[in-house]
Amino acid sequence: MNVYDSARMGDVLRPLGYAPVDAPDQADMIILNTCHIRDRAAEKVFSELGRLRLIKEARKEAGHGTIIAVAGCVAQAEGEEILARAPYVDIVLGPQTYHRLPEMVARAARAGGRIIETEFPAEQKFDFLPESEAPQTPGNLTAFLTIQEGCDKFCSFCVVPYTRGAESSRPVASVLAEARRMVASGVREISLLGQNVNAYHGEGPDGGIWGLARLAYALAEIPGLARIRYTTSHPRDMDEALIAAHRDLPQLMPFLHLPVQSGSDQILRAMNRGHTADEYRDLVRRLREARPDLALSSDFIVGHPGESDADFEATMALVRDTGFALAYSFKYSPRPGTPAAGAGMQVPEDVKDSRLQALQQLLRQQQDAFNQTMVGQSVPVLFTGTGRKPGQIAGRSPWLQPVHVQGDPALIGQEIMVRITERLSNSLGGIVEEEKEYA
């Protein structure tokens, strides 16, 4: 989402005459767009700011001013501290106020004062942002589109409800208009974004409230839009309508990021996730019934406060039962202000390390096994650019696997059937079966 937000900040600043440059030392303004989800996010920001300070000083000696802004969730959570510790920072703004950037820049340039905007404004930023420019992705063939932001779930470990704020959804008409503009500019694949994207409940053109499923059916009617993805989902918001959409809509890719975090009921309860491990298993079963080629990816946290060896074993068991095509796994890291950070029974670092290693080994095996099943199969690949070797073109399978073939660059931008012939460590190789768009 930060990639999308950064592009939108570019959109909002363009009318003021700002345009991207190749390196920070050429920039009149530098915005550091930050993430606060894990680890020592704030420290990373301060060390990056140290580098930017040198750039600002060198530019000043050459007679150029530089505005330094810190945006995103670290700014939201630690704005005051940033201003106190980094006197060369001019603007601190949270993720919900970047539509006001032009005004902040004007104020900073005019008065030379320092500005902090980290409240949650009553207005929705999307109502104030200019229309997005062509998406900032390779070849403009795939694009992100934020449809929902914030979260009301308050998982014990997570800062998102505090930094991104309460759940809110963009109206259907605004999402469809942005999607149509993207497709008109050549986009073939849209990834709908939201911290809780399947909790989407946007105001429809008919005055009713639309869920994600209904939105997906409407998007699927846009001619030329070959692929729709969405991320990231919560198991509790996976309703029957959305499962049915996976059965009905060929454009909805058979790849779902559905984080489970843990396989232990006790830890799921402590995490405030609102479902059990068996409920997750059952949900996966229903999804696969609807769309047999559906592959799953997930996030896992090891070492949440209170996690015993048996709890961790339950996570390993859930992974073995489910089979993930891809997964992201993390050691629990306490986030300031979250309930789990203050909880007793914190798990020692070395225990977290060994659990993470065991889990990642299992997940890696599953990922390799999944990729291996592709060898010998014919799969549609949306080609998005040239490959690393001469004569190669590259794209992705429906399951997000990078695929490369020897092929005509004229195929870039099309979805083409490819016979997979080999599995490399993180990608697949194949040969073009038929040089015509797969329908």
Which residue lies nearer to ligand 5AD by CB, 248 or 299? Answer: 299
Query: In terms of Cα–Cα distance, which of 104, 100, 48, 50 is closest to 74?
Result: 48
**Residue 259 contacts ligand 5AD per CB under 6 A:** yes
CB 147 within 8 A of CB 169: yes
CA distances from 178 to 64, 69, 135, 150, 219 (A): 37, 27, 11, 20, 11
- Within positions 146 to 165, which residues make up the interface with ligand SF4, using CB under 6 A? 151, 153-155, 158, 160-161
Residue of 7, 14, 25, 37 that binds ligand 5AD (CB under 6 A): 37
**Residue 370 contacts ligand 5AD per CB under 6 A:** no
Report the partner that residue 234 touches, choosing among ligand 5AD, ligand SF4, none (CB closer than 5 to 8 A by kind). Answer: ligand SF4
**Number of Cβ within a 10 Å radius of residue 389:** 9
Which residue lies nearer to ligand 5AD by CB, 5 or 117? Answer: 5
Report the partner that residue 383 touches, choosing among ligand 5AD, ligand SF4, none (CB closer than 5 to 8 A by kind). Answer: none
**Residue 176 contacts ligand 5AD per CB under 6 A:** no
Q: How many residues bind to ligand SF4 according to rule CB under 6 A?
A: 10
Which residue lies nearer to ligand 5AD by CB, 315 or 384? Answer: 315
Residue of 234, 288, 355, 404 that binds ligand SF4 (CB under 6 A): 234
Query: In terms of Cα–Cα distance, which of 225, 223, 138, 196 is closest to 402?
Result: 138
To ligand SF4, the closest distance from the beta carbon of 13 in angstroms equals 28
**Residue 261 contacts ligand 5AD per CB under 6 A:** yes
- For tokens 């038929």, the residue is 434
Q: Which stretch binds ligand 5AD (CB under 6 A): 19-27, 70-78, 328-336, 391-399?
A: 328-336
Degrees to nearest 5, angle at CA 6 with 88 and 8: 120
**Number of Cβ within a 10 Å radius of residue 146:** 20
To ligand SF4, the closest distance from the beta carbon of 301 in angstroms equals 9
Report the partner that residue 195 touches, choosing among ligand SF4, ligand 5AD, none (CB closer than 5 to 8 A by kind). Answer: ligand SF4
Which residue lies nearer to ligand 5AD by CB, 77 or 382? Answer: 77
What are the respective helix, strand and coil percentages of the chain, to the nearest 5? 40, 25, 35
Question: What sign does the dihedral 211-195-332-352 (CA atoms) show?
Answer: positive
Q: Exposure pattern of 198-226 as b/e (b: 16+ CB <10 Å)?
A: bbbebebeeeeebbbbbbbbbbeebeebb
Give the distance, in angstroms, between the CA of residue 132 and the centroid of all CA atoms in the same chain. 18
Which residue lies nearer to ligand 5AD by CB, 261 or 414? Answer: 261
Give me the phi and psi of 5, to 5 degrees please: -60, -40
Strand partners, 146: 193
Q: What is the DSSP letter of 249?
A: -
**Residue 158 contacts ligand 5AD per CB under 6 A:** yes
Q: Exposure pattern of 35-62 as b/e (b: 16+ CB <10 Å)?
A: bbbeeebbeebbeebeebbebbeebeee
In the complex, which residue's CB is closest to ligand 5AD? Answer: 299
Residue of 8, 188, 214, 335 that binds ligand 5AD (CB under 6 A): 335
Residue of 7, 24, 28, 38 that binds ligand 5AD (CB under 6 A): 38
**Residue 170 contacts ligand SF4 per CB under 6 A:** no
Residue of 157, 324, 383, 399 that binds ligand 5AD (CB under 6 A): 157
CB 414 within 8 A of CB 396: no
DSSP-derived pairing of the beta strands 209-211 and 201-203:
antiparallel
Which residue lies nearer to ligand 5AD by CB, 144 or 157? Answer: 157
Residue of 4, 330, 383, 399 that binds ligand 5AD (CB under 6 A): 330
To ligand SF4, the closest distance from the beta carbon of 76 in angstroms equals 14
Report the partner that residue 333 touches, choosing among ligand SF4, ligand 5AD, none (CB closer than 5 to 8 A by kind). Answer: ligand 5AD
Q: How far apart are CA 275 and CA 284, in angstroms?
A: 13
Which residue lies nearer to ligand SF4 by CB, 86 or 160? Answer: 160
Residue of 97, 195, 264, 397 that binds ligand SF4 (CB under 6 A): 195
To ligand 5AD, the closest distance from the beta carbon of 147 in angstroms equals 18
Give the distance, in angstroms, between the CA of residue 202 and the centroid of all CA atoms in the same chain. 20
Q: Which residues bind ligand SF4 (CB under 6 A)?
A: 151, 153-155, 158, 160-161, 195-196, 234
